Structure 1
Amino acid sequence: MRGAGIYSDHQLVRNKIKLKRKQQPKVTRRKFDTSKLQQTTIRSKFKNELKNRFDVLQNYEDVEDSVEKKWQHFENAYKETAQKVLGYKKKGQKPWISKESWDLVEERIKLKRDIEQTTSSRIKQNLIKQNLIMEVKKSMRRDKREWADDLASRAEQAAGNGRMKELYDITKTLSNDKGRTSNAVKDKSGNILTEQSARRTRWREHFEEVLNRPLPTNPVSEELNDQVTVIEDISDKHISKAEIRTAIRKMKNGKSGGKDEITAELLKVDIDTTVDWHAGLFNTI
């Protein structure tokens, strides 16, 4: 950009620059593939591997070890066993696909890559004849049928034992019933509001009614606070194994494992070993 009264051979350039901050990479916590525990062989293998690790730790455990060191042994035993037997969950992986089917898929991918890279027509024709698409489909269908049969038998056992929540979850999984979300907003009469301005007005009315409440007619006085009973008889006995077993069984499956990556499914595989180590750890504290 050069003005009319300026004698110069240089062309001035004007530009707009927009700076953008570099985003920090999102740290995603990996999860163990606990769906493999539904298979009897994998479950027994995990249980035996975990028991062997704890037997070795018990032989070399020092009585003077701190609580942090004992917990570190417990955490490492579970995490190393889960990583060795179960592995981490892959993104988008179906729970019913077995390891044999994944091996066939990897073999077919390698075969397809060899077909694309070879230059000999004779070798290419021989590789094409070895196409594993039918074997992969048969293996996938067999895995899904076995997975559905196993879920059906578990649902039958849950119905017989009265575990209705487990029965409902299994039925929902088999029927592939996904949750339905709705953005509809209704007025006080129950009519659905379609206009955006009417929805915002209804939301404003809702929060005004919820947040702007009148003062209580009978507020709590200081005299009532002094009359609150204080529990003085608190048991200082050791935590029993029955209490720990009950607490572990009440833990819900499918929840995040937290910082240590140990989920409720892992603790329930060999509940006897888990209870023994927790009892020793809690009573040391």
Structure 2
Amino acid sequence: MIDYIIVSQRWRSSISNCRTYRSAEIGNTEHRLVVANMRLRLQAQRSQPRPTKIDVSRLSDQEIRSKYAIDVSNHFDALLPFESSEDAWISFKKNVLESATANIGRAKRAKKAWVQFDTLDVIEQRRKARLLGDMPTYRRLNGVRNKLIQRDKKLFVERKAIELEGAAMKGDVGSLYKHLRDLSSDKAPSVASVVSADGQPLSDEAAQVSRWKDHFSSLLHADTVAQTDQELACLAASTQEVPSNEPETSFTTAEIHSALKRLTNNKAAGVCRVSAELLKYAGPAMLLWLQMLLSVVWRTEWVPKDWRLGIILPLWKRKGSKSICSNYRGITLLSVPGKLFAMTLLDRCTSILRRKRRVQQAGFMPGRSTVEQIFTMRQLIEKTRENSGGTHTWPS
């Protein structure tokens, strides 16, 4: 016997059984799987349920998309008017997620199933030969198995290469990077245990969360520069009421549809788990539902709580120690319906600002780049130097 389980004297009385499983397949080794049963009394740790993710890739199927749109329409027809924006949002999120879960389904964990069935059959025959003690057959099937695994791996890489080429020719960047991740063995680095600001290790989970909170608070809540009384007076004098002919009571479906088309697909949802695909492919009933929701938020002047929350994900920069917070960059996942509301507000403000802009305004305007102004100024300077004349500029 060459396989053992070493147990401390303290836990020796906790071992209730120990046995060897000869049928377990471990690979090219003479070792056997040894399993021990232990009887322990541990304090239960409460774990929060992991939120489910909707498999939005299935919305490419027209039949699933139609079922989802019909279910959303049925939920919308049964709604009653809301006076509170929070109640309207909770009802919206609940019904949309229920319809998505029932008609689209949850996303399953992806696996690289590149081993073919004939290879699995040889692996099973090899396992049975070892249990029967037929070592010549076992060694022969071991070589056959290795060749079949190499063949399956080669076919998998060739198939992925064809899919990569097709995605590149179509300009499908999302599928392109997905196939690259399937081929790459370099996985996304996980977040390691971090140290405190003075370099002391933090073993407690609550202490590490507090450390991340302090780090991102120092980055995102920078000290603002104090303004003088004269600057505040000039700011107040320049502030004036801008007359507008835009509607001030509710949003129109045209406004919402224009902002909805600009939302990007294949992006992670925020704390509400409502992605852009769930809003885009829900049919005309979703536009009416969003109009009702945004109008309630506009009328009550109160933004739902989920729209004001963001999930900050630290991503390692692939340089420096993983235990130092400054070697991570954070990205914030915001609520997609909250983004839609912000985009509709920005569209209304932009239309007003463009009518009140200065004639010289070039940046942040469609079709008016700063390149032309820089080119004109450069031409003036060059021509003036050629003619040896003075250059004068006047404030506009």
Normalising by structure 1, we get a TM-score of 0.48
TM-score (norm 2): 0.37
Higher strand proportion, which one? 2
